[in-house]
Amino acid sequence: DTGVSQDPRHKITKRGQNVTFRCDPISEHNRLYWYRQTLGQGPEFLTYFQNEAQLEKSRLLSDRFSAERPKGSFSTLEIQRTEQGDSAMYLCASSSTGAGRMDTEAFFGQGTRLTVV
Amino acid sequence: RKEVEQDPGPFNVPEGATVAFNCTYSNSASQSFFWYRQDCRKEPKLLMSVYSSGNEDGRFTAQLNRASQYISLLIRDSKLSDSATYLCVVNKNTGGFKTIFGAGTRLFVKA
């Protein structure tokens, strides 16, 4: 499978626990995005990487959230001290810088559904 | 104001109907535009890119008006399988490219 893969697909955790999600982008893609989606809403931008550099973080990303992409390949998103409001689908997407420095379209993984109880 | 705004929906249409979705974006530096489709509890998938000259893919037609910062999607001869949420997507240059999604418009096509 050469698409974007995310692990785990589902995660149930108790409030206050830490969780970590992994995303493996399409191998030749240099850009990687994290989004959060709640029911009835479109995906909300959290952060993105170009290669290993984290270029932008949303104000939605509180201090409890951290993302890394250490070798410019896979990425992890960690949420510390989870709260019930963190329950959502966490989507990872990747794209590549195309001709004229325009991005290609983003391809999404199937997401990690987090439930905080 | 949200960076990308869409018709709230839901749109309930009979099979065979023509339906149009609108989207506006606030950042004039936006560079490229897409429509994505998202089925219930699935990830978004690209439906079509949107070009300045307008483009068509079968029953789907997308148009862009940069002056008005407006994007549209027209679906002709609606099928039951078109029922989904349609997301308007804008890539903008903020020192790097960032992909911003609208909240989506839900479409229900009924027999």
pLDDT tens for B4-54 read 999 878 999 999 999 999 999 998 777 789 999 999 989 999 999 998 888
Are the C-beta atoms of residues A95 and B99 closer than 8 Å to each other? yes
Are the C-beta atoms of residues A115 and A14 closer than 8 Å to each other? no
Q: Residue A103: what pLDDT?
A: 60
Q: What is the sign, positive or negative, of the torsion defined by CA atoms of A105, A109, A110, A114? A: negative
Mean pLDDT along residues A63-77: 94
Interchain CB distance below 8 Å, B99 and A45: yes
Q: Residue B106: what pLDDT?
A: 94
- Nearest Cα neighbor of A7 from A117, A111, A88 is A111
For the stretch A97-111, pLDDT in tens is 765 555 667 899 999
From chain B, the residues in CB contact with A56 under 8 A are 94-96, 98
For the stretch B86-96, pLDDT in tens is 999 998 766 55
Is the pLDDT higher at B11 or at A61? B11
From chain A, the residues in CB contact with B42 under 8 A are 110
Minimal C-alpha gap between A110 and chain B (Å): 5
Cα B52 to Cα B32, B33, B66, B69, B86, distances in angstroms: 9, 9, 8, 11, 20
Interchain CB distance below 8 Å, A50 and B96: yes
